Amino acid sequence: MKKTITLLLVAIIAISTVFASGKNESAASSGQGTGKLRVGLIPLGDETTASGRAQLLAQKTIAEAAGIELVPVQLGGYDDESFMTAYESMINQGVDAVLCFTLSETVLPLLKNLFEQNNVKFALFNRQVFDQKIKQDLFGSPMFIGNEHSEETQNAYDMVKWMHDTYSVKNMAVIGLTKGDINGDYRDSGIESACKDLGINLLSETRGISTTEDITKATESLIASYPEMDSIFIVGGTVTTGALAGVNQSLVNHNLADKVRICMVDIATGMLQYMDNGPLKLVAGGNLIADTMLSLVLAANALHGTPLGEKPEMTVPMFWITNSTDAGNYDTYIEGSIPPFSADYYKQNMFKWLNPQVTQESVQKIFTDYSIQSVMERNK
């Protein structure tokens, strides 16, 4: 099956390259009428959610400050072929660079070939590469700008440890992402390692969840099967909001909201109401907005001829939210109407072509120190 998928992707790349090369040459020669450097990206949110609006605001702030035109392309589906089609579309529209991510590592060599053959720079964001052969090949590409990501495995490990140390959890169930999702797999690895090291029983893993009703049924099954369960780890992604509501309702129905504690990755709408006296004790997230900012900063510097180091690998933090005050401040200052960093801040502290004192290390420190508190102090 894996061989079939690989061959299919090779065919897609071969066909895409033939058409994209010709179209890219035409688009580039016309300059699309703007004269601006153009960066393609797949939107990870939209105006219908606070997180989506915050990501779009951050992108707009950086693009205007850097003199860049953004070329967003929506996904037609959530699989590797759909990602490839989106990147082909960006190339056809004459982009100079692409901010990209994928579901699996195995497609990265094909992705690299697509960009090399069309002379388009690219950066990998929100994804860490563990396969050393693939990573070496990726970082060896003359078109590769750099990589930014969160430390998904370590963060998941630390979350389990915090739950163990703070609430003495001993029996944990997991509501996870579909196997094969890179970040989901890394989080699973961290959870499994922590449970093994701390002597926590990993009771069950539930996957393939798409609706609140699915989550409610799955939680009911967990409650019936594991009366000893004292914690649930929601791994996150697209199911987080529905998962939180569904799990909470089941716990309330069985009078277990004060016995079973929840931790989860990714910010969920309405999480504030489940904190403090509710079952939700820890949320880690907010990194997608940081991913948006740092990856675009990397691309802007590279396109202006002042890259932040030699194909840098950089990281962004996940915010840990443990109470309703943190949740409220996150909503106001991170997903509010003011971007975490202003246009002037980017120009002075993150754009090397405008300030030669800017370095990979100085920008990394800004993002290492990036927190709800630091944004509150800057934007008071």
Walking along the chain (380 residues) 10 residues at a time, the average pLDDT comes out as 42 42 40 75 83 91 97 88 93 96 88 96 92 94 96 95 97 82 85 97 81 81 94 78 80 92 86 86 91 96 96 94 92 92 97 98 96 91
Longest dimension (CA), the chain: 67
φ, ψ of residue 322 to 5 degrees: the values are -120, 0
How many CA atoms within 13 Å lie on the side-chain side of 373?
Answer: 4
pLDDT for position 211: 72
User: Any idea which fold 152-285 has?
Assistant: Rossmann fold (3.40.50)
pLDDT for position 48: 78
CA distance 314 to 297: 11
pLDDT for position 323: 92
Q: Where in the chain is the domain with CATH 3.40.50.2300?
A: 2-149+287-378, 152-285
Assigned superfamily of 2-149+287-378: Response regulator (3.40.50.2300)
Q: 80: Cβ–Cβ under 8 A, 6 or more apart, which residues?
A: 5, 9, 102, 103, 104, 107
260 phi-psi bin (left φ>0, alpha ψ -120 to 50, beta other) = beta
pLDDT for position 185: 85
How many C-beta atoms surround the C-beta of residue 286 within 10 A? 26
Could you give the angle at the alpha carbon of 262 between the alpha carbons of 292 and 154, nearest 5°?
A: 50
pLDDT for position 18: 41
Are residues 146 and 115 in contact, defined by beta-carbon separation less than 8 angstroms? no
pLDDT for position 34: 58
How many CA atoms within 13 Å lie on the side-chain side of 243?
Answer: 27
pLDDT for position 189: 92
